[in-house]
Amino acid sequence: MMKNRVTAMLGIRYPIVQGGMQWVGRAELVAAVSNAGALGVLTGLTQPTPEKLREEIERTRSMTDKPFGVNLTILPAVNPPPYDRYMDAIIDSGVKIVETAGNNPKQFVARLKANGIISIHKCVNVRHAISAEKSGVDIVSIDGFECAGHPGEDDVPGLVLIPIAAKRLRIPILASGGIGDGRGFAAALVLGAEGINMGTRFCATVEAPIHDNIKRALVNANECDTRLMFRTLHNTARVFKNAISEQVFAMEQRPGGVAFEEIRPLVIGARGREALSIGDVDGGVITAGQVIGLIDDIPTCAVLIERIVAECRERLRASMQDFE
């Protein structure tokens, strides 16, 4: 048991959150993380419709009686998914924790509060963290440049980002990006975070609902095996280095760059989903962060979480002794 504002607000044993992960954040993983004393988070848009999300929430409930959250990634898009209807599904289902990401959550915060829902907003810079706090979110999760997915365009790593955010915000912050073990957890706490958010590390667990080939590829990779795609489109994404991301990257380096329409067939979500499901490591975009360099095994979520907590305690104690 660890006690701080984050464990109290979220009703969990350890201040560890499994961030929303497209195609991966399904009931099996979420329930396993929550049962292990951390916070599992379902990925709303992994479900094709709001109705399917309601079913997935119920499926998760049948697998855990512990708190869990739902992520809604509200990226601006030409043809966005029906975000409002997904949010209706989350609220009507009685979910008590929501993680937003991708855009300012202010359109939803009042409704979340009115329904007694704790909101975690994930962002990638201090500006957005401050504006999320002003909008009334309860916890900010802040992703350093190391992270999987969208690190933004400022390229500030966690070692700088987290302490600045901790100084500037009054609400609790979760350090996210590049954390995969107890050393990272301890470092995050020392930097001023009150918990951690992890993505990639949870993909290499027994319960992650993806093919073993993908999990093994993450274990075998090192910290240089990610690629930043879409830099030229100002929508940077950190992903696993594979045939698809290398091809996209090469197209972006051409004189004059590349239009999104040209790369769309390579990067469409359905292709990534299929790659994860059949274990085709080169079949589509696979989101992963630099922390793959730290991943050496495929434990259950319970083993992983207990190990991270034990190592964090040991590191904090050992570093105190060094200074006595």
Tell me the C-alpha distance between 146 and 136, whole Å: 27
Nearer to ligand FMN, 176 or 205 (CB): 176
Kindly state the smallest distance separating residue 152's Cβ from ligand FMN, in Å: 12
Nearer to ligand FMN, 36 or 288 (CB): 288
* Nearest-approach distance from CB 143 to ligand FMN, in angstroms: 5
* Cβ distance to ligand FMN smaller for residue 60 or 71: 71
Shortest Cβ distance from residue 271 to ligand FMN (Å)?
14
State in angstroms the smallest separation of the CB of 210 from ligand FMN.
8
If the CB atoms of residues 70 and 117 are measured against ligand FMN, the closer one turns out to be 70
Query: CB-wise, 66 or 150, nearer to ligand FMN?
Result: 150
Binding stretches for ligand FMN (CB under 6 A): 19-22, 24, 43, 71, 73, 101, 122, 143, 146-149, 176-179, 197-201, 203, 287-289, 291
Tokens of 316: 């904090």
The least CB distance from residue 247 to ligand FMN, in Å, is: 19
Distance in Å, CB of 231 to ligand FMN, minimum = 18
CB 215 within 8 A of CB 203: yes
Q: Give the integer Cα–Cα distance in Å for 139 and 172.
A: 5
Residue nearest to ligand FMN (CB): 199
Of the pair 77, 318, the CB lying nearest ligand FMN is at 77
* Nearest to ligand FMN of 69, 318 (CB atom): 69
CA distance linking residue 254 with residue 283, whole number of Å = 23
Q: How far is the CB of 129 from ligand FMN (least distance, A)?
A: 14
